[in-house]
A and B are shown apart, each in its own frame.
Chain A
Amino acid sequence: MRTFDYTQEVPVVEGQPSAKSLDEVVSSPLDTKPGKIWKILITVTTLMLLVGAGALVWTFYKGIGVWGNNQPVGWGFDIVNFVFWVGIGHAGTLISAILFLLRQRWRTGIARFAEAMTIFAVMCAGIFPAIHTGRAWLDGYLFPYPNANHIWVNFTSPLLWDVFAVSTYFTVSLVFWYIGLIPDFATLRDRTDNKIKKTVYSIFSLGWRHSTRHWQHYEKAYMILAGFATPLVLSVHTIVSFDFAVSVIPGWHTTIFPPYFVAGAVFSGFAMVQNVLIFVRQAFNLKHIITINHLEKMNQVIIVVGTMVGYAYAMEFFTAWYSGNQFETFTFINRALGPYAWAYWTMVTCNVILPQLFWSKKIRTTIWTMFIIGIIVNIGMWFERFVIIVTSLSRDFLPSSWGMYTPTIYDIGILIFSFGLFFTNVLLFVRTLPSVSIAEVKASVDGAQPSHRGGHH
């Protein structure tokens, strides 16, 4: 049996690359012409965008009656997709903020990318509540501003808390991401000979000159932002879960929802980040910066939160039985055995059973196996939201008001639109901005810090 030396931490960056070579390897996608694969991929994602935009425009023209939403299932794909995408975003903040506060140095290689994915995922998420209102052009009323009608929003509604949570989350993530980019913009500015690029980088680097008198405040601000982003990310999915938990619908009205939703969010987010990182490290020669060790650690996080999610599924059944409430009990029996049982068992298989394969070190360090499990986890997490929303609404208290839900092609089209938007953004991002934080990686290469200060801390 192999023995591991647990006293020695695996180096964050393999092979001690020089600072100059880091500059080169990270900025090479920005300086070179895109290859064939990138062009094929962006064509595919743009097509997805266009097809989905058709569905969106038709929805705007005709109204949301073209969707499958009905009475009693008033929340369908719109809210399923919203919760799914907000969840995807959570991995980025977890990696960039929580792991930063926990001094997990391995995060440096993947933090920038994960943050970018947070921003894109929240953009995708934002589409759904915005169009779900029916007349997206009136969404300005979601914000409390002194309008001519003298009407204020309802501050006691979880749906309004959502407006604040998601918009704050997006803004703070964007600021956090941008702050991280400033030193890299300066490095790019000083490398390039292209006049246009130089102007753009100069504007965005805000005159940065790597001065210690700036680094000092910069590090403080970064720490403060990480400190705020940590409770923020927990609050966002908590508040999303309040949309359900504060109602009285059986299967929604439970106090386990906030932690259960947060764990699920991190679960799906990590799976998505892991999937996309596998492509990026392959395509842009970043294998020594985004190492197998990184991916393995992500897979370990996936199995931890995946097991939490599995526990929550079990606990929901226990609570339904233990409460003695007949509606609650029925809802859960209906989930496992009712007309949507296929969705329920897809969810359990994808989220609880298959991720257990990650207990094997071979499976969690092999690229193709972890990639497939990552995709499976995301399918499972999408179905989790579908199961929670649709099964609870389709059969609640009165059997006479039960009804089934079937999505229409416009629902599916808008889902495709959101995936198109996400991956188009990811593809544009890897070509236009440094997808790895140059300054942070330089600082965590072995030998980058003064020796007499006791090295890293």
Chain B
Amino acid sequence: MNTKKIYSIGGLFDTPDGITKAAEDAVKEGYTKFDVNTPYPVHGMERAMNLKPSLLGFITLFVGLSGAAFAFLFMYWVSVMDYPLIIGGKPFFSWPAFVPVTFEVTVLSAAVGTVAVMIALVFKFPNNSHPLHDTNYMKNVSSDKFGLNVVYIDPLFDESKVKDFLSRAGANNIEVIYEPERKPLRVFDPKFIGLLVMLVLLTAGVTYFTLNKLLYMPPFTWMAVQDKLSSQSQNTMFADGYGMRNPVEGTVARGFTPYEFKGQPDSVVKNLSNPLPFTKENIDKGKLRFDTYCSPCHGYYGKGDSRLNGQFPNPPTLHSDKVKNWSDGNIYHVIVNGQNVMPSYAKQISKDDRWAIIHYIRVLQRSLNAKDSDLETKKQ
């Protein structure tokens, strides 16, 4: 007839009883690579065909448990380790609150995993074509007939013998099914892989663009960018071009005591003594304020190693004999009034904080200029 390769030989049956008996007969004859195609699942057909039970349930179990474990551990990591936040006074590890999300992720991963595995391994996605497609046999089993076909890979396959078996089993319409000429699409087909890569890149690109670029472009910024005065930015509302206003002349902030030695020489103030006790709390506070306000220019250890990369002149070290021999009142005076290019810090640093900073500067001076004799003292 033609030179095409035979894929299988199929026969059609009219009743579910007929096909079940035919399947049992096929097993008895010793056929193993045969298939039964029915428009709906016929009860008992798996037993008649002697098929092993489906193992899909194990996949579900594995994927589901993995999903559950991942969700729970992820929430633990987020809530306890990476970003601990106290919410409602509850412990970071409030496991009962993790139950709903763990449950949902379990269901999601198990359901999607099962179906994905079935589509990939059983249906051989994306291979969409099969020799049976577009045959008369397929058209019938798709609607109201029941078909049995023996595939050429069966060890007992022989065209005339299979035909003979099918007619003995009671099949009508025995049909020889040939391999189609076109090649089936494989999972590793470069075109398919290329398509997947394109899809991934497209999705990632669109997401990145939307979240990181689009949302910062007009008109999506209309809530963020508003026609109003804002601090630190230029504005034409006032003649000086600043958005921020200075307080009215002579305004006194709450809790503010004017500096009584303003503009007076050091000699007047050097007898002031530090009113704060020299305690750990005060030193810690001083370190915090020093690191915030002083360290950008003076450096974390007061060595004058500015972090401003030369954008502002570096101050001299605080470990010079001059500063070491200064009284606390001298340093206080400099913080309040400024000195040379250093501006006044009276507005930024409160009275107590200034004295705390001074305690901390003394600690720095002492610890960075330790003498050998200090070791001796320690030994004792």
Contact = CB atoms under 8 A, between A and B. Distances in A.
A147 to B, nearest CB: 8
A225 B215 contact: no
Interface of B: 16-17, 20, 23, 35-46, 49, 51, 53-54, 56-57, 60, 74-75, 78-79, 82-83, 85, 87-88, 90, 94, 97-98, 100-101, 103-105, 107-108, 110-112, 114-115, 118-119, 122-125, 127-130, 132-133, 138-139, 141-144, 207, 210-212, 215, 220, 223
A316 interface: no
A154 B87 contact: yes
A208 interface: yes
B293 to A, nearest CB: 27
Given A152-B82, A210-B39, A175 B112 contact: yes
A409 interface: no
Contact of A164 (B17, B37, B39, B104): B104
A232 B17 CA distance: 38
B175 to A, nearest CB: 14
A403 B119 CA distance: 55
Interface of A: 18-20, 23, 63, 135, 137-138, 140, 144, 147-148, 150-152, 154-158, 160-161, 164-165, 168, 171-172, 175-176, 179, 183, 186-187, 189-191, 202-203, 206-221, 224-225, 228-229, 231-232, 235, 239, 242, 439-440, 442-443, 448-453, 457
Given A151-B83, A155-B78, A63 B223 contact: yes
A190 B143 contact: yes
A224 B142 contact: no
A232 B110 CA distance: 12
Which of A214, A450, A453 is most buried by chain B, counting CB atoms within 10 A of its CB?
A450
A156 B118 contact: no
28 contacts: A20-B143, A20-B144, A23-B143, A137-B215, A152-B82, A154-B85, A154-B87, A155-B78, A155-B98, A161-B101, A171-B108, A175-B111, A176-B111, A203-B128, A206-B123, A207-B125, A207-B130, A211-B35, A211-B36, A212-B42, A212-B45, A215-B45, A218-B118, A225-B114, A235-B107, A439-B40, A450-B42, A453-B20
Task: Pick the most buried of A156, A189, A439: most chain B CB atoms within 10 A of its CB.
Answer: A156
B110 A228 contact: yes
Nearest to A453: B44
Nearest to B185: A207
Given A155-B75, A155-B98, A172-B108, A224 B57 contact: yes
A220 B111 CA distance: 12
Contacts of A235: 100, 103-104, 107
Given A154-B85, A221-B56, 11 more contacts: A150-B83, A152-B79, A175-B111, A175-B115, A212-B37, A212-B51, A213-B35, A214-B123, A232-B107, A439-B41, A450-B17
Contacts of A160: 101
A28 to B, nearest CB: 14
Given A156-B90, A179-B115, A202-B128, A210 B142 contact: yes
A75 B117 CA distance: 42
Contacts of B37: 209-212
B38 to A, nearest CB: 6
B100 A449 contact: no
B56 A220 contact: yes
Contact of A190 (B43, B56, B142): B142
Nearest to B77: A152
Contacts of A161: 100-101, 104
A20 B141 CA distance: 11
Contacts of B98: 155-156
Contacts of B45: 212, 215
B78 A152 contact: yes
Contact of B118 (A212, A221, A231): A221
Nearest to A150: B83
5 A-B pairs with the lowest CB-CB distances in the bound complex, closest first: A19-B144, A443-B40, A190-B142, A156-B97, A161-B100
Nearest to A206: B123
Contacts of B74: 144
A212 B87 contact: no
A442 B128 contact: no
